[in-house]
Amino acid sequence: MNNDPLDDLLRAAAQEPPLSEGFRSEVWTRIAYAEQRSVASWFHRALASLVRPLPAALTVAATVVIGAWLGLASTPTAEDAQLSYAESISPFSQEHTP
């Protein structure tokens, strides 16, 4: 065993300082406040709100509407589509190199 007098002196001097009565609640309040302000917490709350039935249905509906709008906005007109098809199959519009 280690009977060093320095160990006894360190054990005797290692007393915890007195804490205020609201110390623990203040610490937990600060932790909770820091968690509320974090980006991960905000992201988690945003995703949790989308899991509910009404926001989830609205999100799916908005995605479908935006996708349909983008699809219709990017389609060529019928005349352009017919001309593109005709050019793609015409042997005269394709260049041949000897």
pLDDT in tens, 14-42: 677 788 888 888 999 998 888 778 888 88
Q: What is the pLDDT of residue 20?
A: 84
**Is residue 76 assigned to a domain?**
yes
Q: Is the pTM of this model over 0.75?
A: no
**Is residue 97 assigned to a domain?**
no
**Is residue 14 assigned to a domain?**
no
Q: What is the pLDDT of residue 2?
A: 65
pLDDT tens digits for range 48-89: 888 889 988 999 999 999 999 998 887 767 777 788 888 888
The domain of 64 spans 58-87
Q: What single string gives the DSSP state of each residue in 10-71?
A: HHHH-PPPP--TTHHHHHHHHHHHHHHHSHHHHHHHHHHHHHSHHHHHHHHHHHHHHHHHHH
**Is residue 25 assigned to a domain?**
no
Task: Find the radius of gyration of the CA atoms of the chain.
Answer: 36
Q: What is the pLDDT of residue 96?
A: 56
